[in-house]
Amino acid sequence: MKLPDFNQMIDRHNTSSVKWDFLNRDLPLNKADLLPMWVSDFDFQCPEEVLQTLYSRIDHGIFGYSERDDHYYQSAIDWFSRRHKLTLYRDWFTSIEGVVPGLALLIQMLSKPGEGIVVQGPYYASFAKIITMNSRMMIENPLLESQEGYKIDYDHLEQILEQHRPPLLLLCNPHNPTGRCWDSDELLQLLMLCKRYGTTVISDEIWADLILPWGKFTSILHLGSEWHSNVIAATSTSKTFGLSSLRISNFLIPNPELRHAFIDRLNAHGLDVFNALSMAAATAAYQHGDIWLDELQHYLAENRCWFEQALTSAVPWCRMTKAEGTYLAWLDCRDLGLDDAALQQALLQKAKLVVSMGWGFGDSGKGFIRINLGCPRQYLEKAITGLAQLTS
C-alpha cells in the first residue's frame, strides 16, 4: 500500500470546489490572494484503493441505475464493528445521498410545521437551514463553555423540553464546530431527558471516524437496546475519506416503525436509486481505508498540536477550544475586541483568510471563528502568519 503524503499541496482551483472556487462568491476580492479554511472538506487525496476502485468502475463504462448491494452493507457493518466496536444489523440501514437531505426528510416526517426542534449551540449552520426552511422552530440549547471544552446544559435542556415538548432533538457527535465527543454519561443523561418528554434524538455522527488520540467516540447506538426505539444515527464516509461530492450516507434506525416510515418517505421522493461511483468509493473506503485513516488521524493530531502551539506564541489574543474530534478548530477571538463584521473584514483584508465566522453557528458563536485544519501543514503556517497580522 502506498502511504499517503498529507504534506503534498494539491491545487484544487478549477475543480468546481466550493471551498476553493466559490470562496469569493459574496466577496469583492481576488480568490487567488485568499487561503480558504472554511467549508469542512479537507485538501488531501482520498486513499489509493478508493481511487483504483473508481478507475476500474469508470473503465467498465456503463453507468445504469444502481442500488446499494450486499458488499456495501457488509463493508459498513464490518467497519463499525472493527473501528468502533459497534454492532450494527443489516436491517437497521437506510440510505440516502447525503446526511443533510436525510435529516431534512426526517424533520418533515417526525415533526409538524411550527413545532420546535432542539439543537445545541453553537450549531452546524445547515441544521438551522433545514429546520427553519421546513417551517419548524429552532430551539437553541446553548452549550456551556468550560476549561475542559464545551458541556451540555441539562437544566436548560429540561426547561426547553418541558415548555415546548419538541418532537425532535438534533445532536451532533462529534460536535461541529467545537470538536467535543459526547461520552456515554453525557449521552445517557440526554437520552433520559428526551425519553421523559417523548423527544426523538437524531444523532448526526458524520465525524465519528475523525477522533483525536486523546478522544473517544461513543455512538448513540452504543448505549443499549433500551434506548433504540427513540434514536436514529446518521453516518457517512464523506468527512472521513474526503468523499463529500460522492454522496452516500447511512441512517441507522433500529425502530422498525420509524425505519419503514423513513423508507416510504424515500420512495415517495424517488430517492431509491444510487450513484454507482459513490457506492464503489464508499465500499472500497470501508474495506481498505483503515491504514490510510490511521495515518490521517495521526497527521490531523499533529496539525492540531502544531497549530495550538503556534497560536499561543504568535497570536496570544486567540484561544483554541479543547477538542476530541474533527479537523475543525473553534477559536475564541473575543479578546481582540472587534465586532463580527470588523473581524471578518480584518481576516479577509489583513490575514487573507476565508474562515467560517462564528455567528453562522448561532448567537453562541459570536466572537468565534472556525478554521479547517484538514490541510497540509504549510497552509497552517500561512494561517498563523495571517492571524498574527491582525494586531501588527
* Element at 369 (helix H, strand E): strand 368-372
Q: Contact region for ligand PLP (CB under 6 A) — 25-33, 98-106, 114-122, 313-321?
A: 98-106
Other Cβ atoms within 10 Å of 127 Cβ, number: 25
Measured from the CB atom, the residue of 227 and 361 that comes closer to ligand PLP is 361
Measured from the CB atom, the residue of 109 and 291 that comes closer to ligand PLP is 109
Is there binding between residue 98 and ligand PLP (CB under 6 A)?
A: yes
* Element at 376 (helix H, strand E): none
Measured from the CB atom, the residue of 276 and 310 that comes closer to ligand PLP is 276
Measured from the CB atom, the residue of 365 and 390 that comes closer to ligand PLP is 365
Report whether 282 contacts 300 (CB < 8 A): no
Q: Contact region for ligand PLP (CB under 6 A) — 85-93, 96-104, 109-117, 332-340?
A: 96-104
Would you give the binding string for ligand PLP spanning residues 31-50, x where CB under 6 A is met? Answer: ---------x----------
The C-alpha cell at 257 is 416503525
CA separation, residue 361 to residues 37, 103, 133, 153, 368 (Å): 16, 17, 16, 17, 9
Is there binding between residue 204 and ligand PLP (CB under 6 A)?
A: yes
Cα–Cα distance measured from residue 244 to residue 41, given in angstroms and rounded to the nearest whole number: 7
Is there binding between residue 117 and ligand PLP (CB under 6 A)?
A: no
Cα–Cα distance measured from residue 95 to residue 250, given in angstroms and rounded to the nearest whole number: 5
Measured from the CB atom, the residue of 139 and 390 that comes closer to ligand PLP is 139
Would you give the binding string for ligand PLP spanning residues 248-267, x where CB under 6 A is met? Answer: -x------------------
Is there binding between residue 211 and ligand PLP (CB under 6 A)?
A: no
Cis peptide before 122 (omega within 30 of 0): yes
Cα–Cα distance measured from residue 330 to residue 176, given in angstroms and rounded to the nearest whole number: 9
In the complex, what is the shortest distance from the CB of residue 126 to ligand PLP, in angstroms, rounded to a whole number?
6
Q: From the list 94, 199, 203, 238, which residue makes contact with ligand PLP (rule: CB under 6 A)? A: 238
Over 332-351, what HEC string results? ECHHHCCCHHHHHHHHHHHH
In the complex, what is the shortest distance from the CB of residue 385 to ligand PLP, in angstroms, rounded to a whole number?
26
Residue list 154-173, contact with ligand PLP (CB under 6 A): 172
Q: From the list 141, 235, 244, 283, which residue makes contact with ligand PLP (rule: CB under 6 A)? A: 244
Number of residues that bind ligand PLP (CB under 6 A): 13
Backbone angles phi, psi at 98, to 5 degrees: 115, 140
Is there binding between residue 237 and ligand PLP (CB under 6 A)?
A: no
Is there binding between residue 236 and ligand PLP (CB under 6 A)?
A: yes
Is there binding between residue 86 and ligand PLP (CB under 6 A)?
A: no
Strands 368-372 and 328-332: antiparallel
Cα–Cα distance measured from residue 226 to residue 62, given in angstroms and rounded to the nearest whole number: 45
Strands 200-204 and 249-252: unpaired
CA separation, residue 267 to residues 156, 169, 250, 329 (Å): 38, 25, 16, 38
**Nearest one of 120, 31, 37, 75 to 280, comparing CA atoms:** 75
Q: Contact region for ligand PLP (CB under 6 A) — 94-102, 214-222, 331-339, 379-387?
A: 94-102
Q: From the list 53, 176, 200, 356, which residue makes contact with ligand PLP (rule: CB under 6 A)? A: 176
Site for ligand PLP, rule CB under 6 A: 40, 98-100, 124, 172, 176, 204, 206, 236, 238, 244, 249
